[in-house]
Structure 1
Amino acid sequence: MFMSVSRAIDTLNEKIAAVVGWALLAAVVICTVNALIRYTFNASSNAWLEIQWYLFAAMFMLASSHTLKRDEHVRIDVIAGRFSKRTQVWIDLFGFLLFLMPISLLIVYYGVPFALLSIQSAEMSSNAGGLIVWPAKLLVPLGFLLMLLQGVSEIIKRIAFLAGKIDGHEFAKHVATPEEEIEAIKAANKL
């Protein structure tokens, strides 16, 4: 049962990351169009600049949980890599329970009222021609809520591994071989 919860959380974060990936394309297009207009017609707007950092914030906040799911989060692999897989899993559990979960809970706890206040007051950017601010502020608790959920999923997987219910591939980092990278490049070029 717990593994089905873990897989549902993983699927949710994979789908969100796939959608948020399009924010990168949107940011590049907006940046390019903004630069062309600015240098060609000597005109621009702060809204163009702000929407770029909104998109960057969305990419970072909403896809960070997917990074955790893929086991590509920051850690000291040089040290952890010297230990057995079982010890590495204990280190992960320790980190998730003592650091990730409490900090994420704290940020969600304080981030929700922070975002709600911005929504209720219809907060606007202080820059001339700027955008509404609440969407960016809402990304903070939303991103950390997704991180909390993914933390639960990762804890479930680590406990299942320690109990002998699953092997490490459920949460191991997938390192592409050079051949896989070449095939991925070829596939991307066919689009």
Structure 2
Amino acid sequence: MNALKKISKFLDNTNDWVGKVSSWSVIIMMLLVVYEVVSRRIFNSPTIWTFEVTTMVFGFHFMMVAAYGVLHKVMVSVDMLYEKFSAKKQAILDLITYTIFFMPFVIGVLYGSSKFAWISWLQKEVSWTAFAPPLYPFKAIIPVAFFFLLLQGISEMIKRIVILAEGEKSHD
């Protein structure tokens, strides 16, 4: 069990670090929006690029902090019955739902988005707008983010297995 706990802790620490580093992209978004507002409202000189870049940075932010959100349980849930279950029953239910819903979805998106990103890289895909920034680096974020989600899903399942094996409330 100690090996499983170490693996889970490593995966948690990895996703915690990735989430914290990625969360700084909010500062970039804020600066872009402020720049556009000042350009548009004060200098009457709107840009053609800030909206698109802000959208891309938001996509990066949203995708890359997803595993961090799973780690810290910030997702919305309705657990009127779940909270009444014992730790072992919660662990069993979690293992079932991770196996049936979470993992197949994450693996499916990881697989599909990897092909999607690879084609984009091969084509050196750019946006259809007048600004025409490269899209392929941002499309590559999708499989990267789902890879981190997969790692966090594995960590969460390990935690539930430890609870079932040792009867612990949590190993965090």
TM norm structure 1: 0.83
Please, which runs of 5 or more residues in structure 1 have no aligned partner?
171-191
1: CA distance, partners of 2:71 / 2:94: 12
Amino acid at match of 1:73: M
Q: CA deviation at 1:78?
A: 2.4
Percent identity over the alignment?
Answer: 27
Q: Distance in 1 between matches of 2:9 and 2:171?
A: 13
Whichever residue aligns with residue 161 of structure 2, its letter is I
The runs of 4+ residues in structure 1 deviating greater than 6 Å are none
Given the alignment of the two structures, is residue 64 of structure 1 paired with residue 51 of structure 2, yes or no? no
Question: Is the CA contact (8 Å cut-off) linking 2:87 and 2:169 kept in structure 1?
Answer: no
Aligned 8 A contact 2:5 2:158 in 1: yes
Contact kept? 1:46, 1:130, Cα under 8 Å? no
Paired amino acid for 1:45: T
| Residue in structure 2 matched with residue 122 of structure 1 by the alignment | 124
- In structure 1, the residue matched to 2:87 is 85
Residues 3-28 of structure 1 show CA distances to partners (whole Å, capped at 9, x for unaligned) of 11111111111111111111011101
The SS at the match of 1:46 is coil
In structure 2, distance between residues paired with 1:59 and 1:67? 12
What amino acid sits opposite 1:92 in the alignment?
D
Q: TM-score if structure 2 supplies the norm length? A: 0.92
> Unaligned 5+ residue runs, structure 2?
none
For residue 138 of structure 1, the aligned residue among 137, 140, 146 is 140
Query: Mean Cα displacement is larger for which, 33-42 or 9-18?
Result: 33-42
1:81-116 deviations in Å (ceiling 9; x for gaps): 232222222221111111111111111111111001
Measure the CA separation in 2 of the matches of 1:156 and 1:44: 51
Output the amino acid matched with 2:75: H
Counterpart of 1:3? 5
The 2-side partners of 1:94 and 1:75 are apart by 16
Q: Rate the CA distance shift 1:130–1:56 in 2: closer, same or farther, 3 A.
A: same
> For structure 1, which segment, 155-164 or 85-94, has the greater mean C-alpha deviation from structure 2 after superposition?
85-94
Between the aligned partners of 1:112 and 1:46, the Cα distance in structure 2 is: 30
- Please provide the CA RMSD for this pair: 1.5
Equivalenced residue count is 170
